[in-house]
């Protein structure tokens, strides 16, 4: 899943990015509110981590603007200010969660997973889809009680499709989720991962919607997956 990290402190930002990448997120990191606006306008981010003390604008202003524009992406606010008034202001402005610095990397990862889960309308941390069981927090997949090994990108692809709950996910959105802004993407990179996922989890799991993208199919074998 794609995380847009907005943090102006060099050391903190680099640490969070590396930590979230280890936890299996695709992270794009920007240091200013202006860059954040551009990134969120151009990227299909699944969740935003927002530091409130930004050099060019207050983080809450940014958040208020986004919510006013109808932006529904879940936002986790990071701040070093612990006054209750600050926290209340953050949540009232439209933040979905609030984490006080310094925090634990595991906690940040878990909270982001929880935000994604709530955004997809799920209550359980483990996703069941037919004979498929997926644990995004620990990045493990079982098919009919047998654990399947997936690569990092394959898992991201599966996670994104599950998150869309059968909705169509465009190739651009998949690119954003898998690679973010910085990684140069070969035109057929997503196709390759889709191909591998079908081979490991069954050909019907990923359905191609011509000209639009992909969507989640039945987890059981059988039926035509179409040509990617």
Partner 1 sequence: MSLRRRLLLILGVSFCVLWALAAAWLYSDLRDQMRATLDQRLAASARMVAGLIAQLPEDAWNQAGAPVLSTPQSTGVACQISSSRGQVLMRTHGRLAGELDTPAPGFTDRVIDGQRWRLFTFVQNGLHITTADRLAERAALQRNVIVVAVVPFVVALLGSLIALWLGIRRGLGPLARLHAELSRRDPDMLTPVEIGDAPAELRPAIDTLNALLLRTGEALTREQRFTSDAAHELRTPLTAIKTHVQLASRLPTDQAGDALASAEAGIARLQRTLEQLLTLARIEAGSPISETESVASAQIVAAALADLPARERVEVHAPARESLEVALPRELAAAALRNLLENALRHTPDGAAVELTVCAQPERVLFNVSDRGDWPPTQSTQQLTQRFWRQRHSAGHVQGSGLGLTIVAAIAARFGGSLELQPREGGGLAACFAVPRVSPV
Q: Tell whether residue 31 is a contact of partner 1 (CB under 8 A).
A: yes
Q: Out of 1, 2, 3, 13, name the contact with partner 1 by CB under 8 A.
A: 13
Q: Out of 44, 72, 97, 104, name the contact with partner 1 by CB under 8 A.
A: 104
CA distance 121 to 224: 29
Q: For the CB of residue 70, give the shortest distance to partner 1 in the complex, in Å.
A: 29
Contact 20, 46 (CB under 8 A): no
Q: Tell whether residue 15 is a contact of partner 1 (CB under 8 A).
A: yes
Q: Out of 42, 91, 92, 101, name the contact with partner 1 by CB under 8 A.
A: 101
Q: Tell whether residue 12 is a contact of partner 1 (CB under 8 A).
A: yes
Q: For the CB of residue 133, give the shortest distance to partner 1 in the complex, in Å.
A: 25
| 100 vs 209, beta carbon nearer partner 1 | 100
Q: Out of 8, 65, 135, 172, name the contact with partner 1 by CB under 8 A.
A: 8
Q: Tell whether residue 90 is a contact of partner 1 (CB under 8 A).
A: no
- Please list every residue from 57 through 86 that binds partner 1, using CB under 8 A: 80-83
Q: Tell whether residue 172 is a contact of partner 1 (CB under 8 A).
A: no
Q: Tell whether residue 55 is a contact of partner 1 (CB under 8 A).
A: yes
CA distance 73 to 2: 11
Backbone phi and psi for residue 22, each to the nearest 5 degrees, phi listed first:
-60, -35
Dihedral sign (CA 116, 68, 4, 95)? negative
Looking at the DSSP assignment, which residues form a beta bridge with residue 75? 48
Long-range residue pairs from 224-227, CB within 8 A, at least 24 positions apart, any chain: 225/198
Q: For the CB of residue 183, give the shortest distance to partner 1 in the complex, in Å.
A: 18
- How many other C-beta atoms can be found within 10 angstroms of the C-beta atom of residue 9? 14
Q: Tell whether residue 128 is a contact of partner 1 (CB under 8 A).
A: no
Q: Which ranges in 69-133 belong to alpha helices (H)?
A: 84-93, 105-119
CA distance 43 to 3: 10
Q: For the CB of residue 114, give the shortest distance to partner 1 in the complex, in Å.
A: 19
**For residue 160, which of 151, 170, 147 has the smallest C-alpha distance?**
170
Q: Tell whether residue 103 is a contact of partner 1 (CB under 8 A).
A: yes
Burial class from Cβ neighbours inside 10 Å (0-12, 13-18, 19+) for residue 195 reads middle
Q: Tell whether residue 182 is a contact of partner 1 (CB under 8 A).
A: no
Q: Tell whether residue 4 is a contact of partner 1 (CB under 8 A).
A: no
Catalog residues that contact partner 1 under the rule CB under 8 A.
8-16, 18-19, 22, 31-32, 53, 55-56, 80-83, 100-106
């Amino acid at each position: 899943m794609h995380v847009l990290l907005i943090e102006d402190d060099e050391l903190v930002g680099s640490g969070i990015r590396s930590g979230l990448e280890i936890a299996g997120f695709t992270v794009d990191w920007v240091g200013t509110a202006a860059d954040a606006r551009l990134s969120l306008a151009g990227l299909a981010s699944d969740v935003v981590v927002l530091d409130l003390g930004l050099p060019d604008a207050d983080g809450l202003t940014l958040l208020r603007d986004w919510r006013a524009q109808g932006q529904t992406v879940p936002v986790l606010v990071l701040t070093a200010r612990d006054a209750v008034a600050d926290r209340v202001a953050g949540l009232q402005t439209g933040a979905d969660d609030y984490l006080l610095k310094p925090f634990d990397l595991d906690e940040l990862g878990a909270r982001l997973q929880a935000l994604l889960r709530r955004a997809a309308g799920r209550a359980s941390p483990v996703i069941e889809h037919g004979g498929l069981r997926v644990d995004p927090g620990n990045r493990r997949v079982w098919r009919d009680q047998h654990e399947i090994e997936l690569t990092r990108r394959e898992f991201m692809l599966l996670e994104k499709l599950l998150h869309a709950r059968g909705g169509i996910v465009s190739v651009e959105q998949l690119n954003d989720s898998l690679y973010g802004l910085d990684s140069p993407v070969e035109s057929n990179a997503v196709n390759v991962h889709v191909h591998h996922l079908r081979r490991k989890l069954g050909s019907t799991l990923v359905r191609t919607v011509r000209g639009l993208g992909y969507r989640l199919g039945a987890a059981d074998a059988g039926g035509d997956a179409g040509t990617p």
